[in-house]
Amino acid sequence: MTPRLATARLVLRARVPDDAEALFAAMGDAAAMTWWSHAPAESVAALRERFSAHDGGNWRTWAITREGDVAAIGFVAAGEKRAGVVEIGYLLVPAAQGRGYAREAVGGVIDRLFAEGYRRVFADTDPDNAGSNRLLESLGFRREGLLRAEWETHIGVRDTVLWGLLRDEWRGVTPL
């Protein structure tokens, strides 16, 4: 189950198929999807179908919404990899970037994950994804390694940077 979370400016709720229309602005955009392991969605209908077919498995996905608005401006996903360890991923629609929403939303999810008892949160990013790498570093993640030729993506074979954060290192999100 994906619990509802609230931060200073945002509400994070379970992502639903109807979020496809709002999230297509990112997930259907080639530039926004550059660093993802899969190509942009071809249509809102295809994205809605992907959201409908996604059973979650070990992953929970929160739609990011602004306080008082129901339209998704992005999402944060967390997937349990083994006992005590969870991977995160996130994406914002281009119009919502640059306002600190990703930092606030990812920080809110991290708070929840550590409160649930996870000991470690990690993320993997493309080395050339400067924005995501900066975000993770600003949240206290440590760069732990580089996996060469790790992903075969829609833009070719790519390296990945591994970032890790331990519960004892987490200080929460501080204002920028």
pLDDT tens, position by position, 101-122:
999 999 999 999 999 999 999 9
pLDDT at 173: 82
- pLDDT tens for 56-101 read 678 999 999 999 999 999 999 999 999 999 999 999 999 999 999 9
Tell me how far CA of residue 87 lies from CA of 101, 103, 162, in angstroms. Answer: 19, 16, 10
Least confident of 69-83, 120-134, 162-176: 162-176
Q: Residue 149: left if φ>0, alpha if ψ -120 to 50, beta else—which one?
A: left
pTM: 0.94
Q: Which long-range contacts (CB under 8 A, 24 or more apart) does 68-76 make?
A: 71/22, 72/15, 72/19, 72/22, 72/23, 73/22, 73/101, 74/23, 74/26, 74/101, 74/102, 74/105, 75/15, 75/19, 75/23, 76/12, 76/105, 76/106, 76/108, 76/109
